[in-house]
Structure 1
């Protein structure tokens, strides 16, 4: 065989081998991509929740990121991530995805019971002890029973609110030996606001979540697109992802100059909150301790309930 023809055939053989190798490599690389293109977004989100790829999750749209968070929380995958992974994940997510995820999560909490620790600065004074409260809530209509527990401030107090019966009033007593006589009072009156800057209607998960969503829109308008800090903390024994938001203007344009919100890793809920004024002083602290979905009968929101002290 002439030398030139042998060299040409050898070159052709090397090209064919290289072409086959490239096809194999490219096929191995594109296979998952093509497979991903053929599967629905929902199927991919489910698969990603089982084996999270933080970089890829960060490229999803807002709706898909919210779905991923919901599925990862439900499967327990989110809680299994270590601190560094959690911080990297939430830095990669679109801020709107967290708000969408929390908004969707509220749908399950139409009737529930929780205990909470709460402190508020009232007329410039920070209380020495936190309120420890048991709260039962239903929505549509909004009905609330709250009791102040023995190991917190204002122990023994009870209040009932029923939006379907008296939307502008609550029924309660101060507790203690001299304060057991119950009375009706305005939800915005001096007695109702003596221990809180908020209406009883704002007692619950929904109010804090909705405020975070509403403030998020104002953050975006002010050019605040990301939290100032993201870290993993343990608060009252709860492991949470803590998001710190700081505003340039502070109060009164925003609810707080700085807020630190703690995200539950096992449910789509905000579990902790700290709010700071323009001078850097904390003026509100909330920890939702134990939360349980429950169905209640009418007696739960009736002062004649024999378990209550009205």
Structure 2
């Protein structure tokens, strides 16, 4: 097993930076990962071929502990794609992710798509606003499409801010969104800045932060900061079922907290089938949770143009 994080800080930081941060290193590893998925490498050693070809065994942790970091990356990619992780019990998953080198999860995340070209998802979100934790989460239906980025979001009746709707279309007004508040003010739609009054009334985030991509981006940003300060990057591991979503929960405690890092402590729930996160629990320097996100469901989907048109008769603009 790779012992990178047991080595002196300076050497550890240098090696981690070279593997995780340097663009050329990431590109080389990405090419290696794509090649490994596309065909068998005739020049690979016997153990690498066996680990890439075989399905994970009942003693996955012992199997993975014998592999190099690159081999562990390919092993985890295949285990997610094949559905093998889903079949493991909580103890097996915990042992497996405790065995993985700390570089493996960020590398798998870095090499993989962080979402879909277009998809619909259901989101439950709790946020501490003005020092207050909500009694219930905002429950949202979101349609999202890339190139250009377009978003439609609706706050559902069973959650906070019920009745609100917003639409964002980067091809039309990249710095603004169109939306309305819920309740009686729902008849007054307006254009507003992405971080304006309407946005800040119900979230600390912009509407463009919705989706799996933002969570992945924030994770990778913090990963680089750990490298820069030479901090250990080995997470605590447990398996959780949050709002019916079973994930491998990886808890990272940052050395200095906010504002240098996104949170003092953050638990990210890795999806068992896909290389992105389904849940987030973030804690401030005071130990209080300031954000919790659960992506309840994700469905790849293509949309017609009216999905991002305020004139769509299904919407209440």
Report if aligned partners of 2:69, 2:103 keep a CA contact under 8 Å in 1. yes
Matched, 1:178 2:159: no
Report if aligned partners of 1:227, 1:243 keep a CA contact under 8 Å in 2. no
User: Which residues in structure 2 correspond to 1:179-198 (within 5 Å)?
Assistant: 179-198=186-205
- Per-residue CA deviations over 1:127-166 (Å, capped at 9, x if unaligned) read 2221000001011111100000010011111000001110
Q: Which residue of 2 aligns with 1:45?
A: 52
TM-score by length of 2: 0.81
Matched, 1:249 2:256: yes
Q: 1:150 aligns with which of 157, 169, 178?
A: 157
Matched, 1:60 2:77: no
Distance 1:108 1:187, change over 3 A: closer
Cα distance between partner residues in 2 of 1:137 and 1:184: 19
- How far apart are residue 104 of structure 1 and its match? 3.5
Q: Which residue of 2 aligns with 1:282?
A: 289
Report if aligned partners of 2:127, 2:290 keep a CA contact under 8 Å in 1. yes
Query: Where does structure 1 lack aligned partners over 5 or more consecutive residues?
Result: 1-34
The runs of at least 4 aligned residues of structure 1 exceeding 6 Å deviation read none
Distance 1:37 1:168, change over 3 A: closer
- How far apart are residue 267 of structure 1 and its match? 2.2
Cα distance between partner residues in 1 of 2:162 and 2:146: 26
Aligned-residue CA RMSD (Å): 2.2
Cα distance between partner residues in 2 of 1:59 and 1:118: 40
Query: Where does structure 2 lack aligned partners over 5 or more consecutive residues?
Result: 1-41
SS of equivalent to 2:260: coil
Alignment coverage as a number of residue pairs: 276
Q: Which residue of 2 aligns with 1:77?
A: 84
Cα distance between partner residues in 1 of 2:92 and 2:297: 26
- How far apart are residue 51 of structure 1 and its match? 6.6
Larger relative contact order (CA 8 Å, sep ≥ 6): 2
Q: Which structure has the greater CA radius of gyration?
A: 1
Q: Which residue of 2 aligns with 1:137?
A: 144
Cα distance between partner residues in 2 of 1:238 and 1:55: 27
User: Which residues in structure 2 correspond to 1:1-310 (within 5 Å)?
Assistant: 41=48, 44-49=51-56, 53-106=60-113, 109-310=116-317
SS of equivalent to 1:192: helix
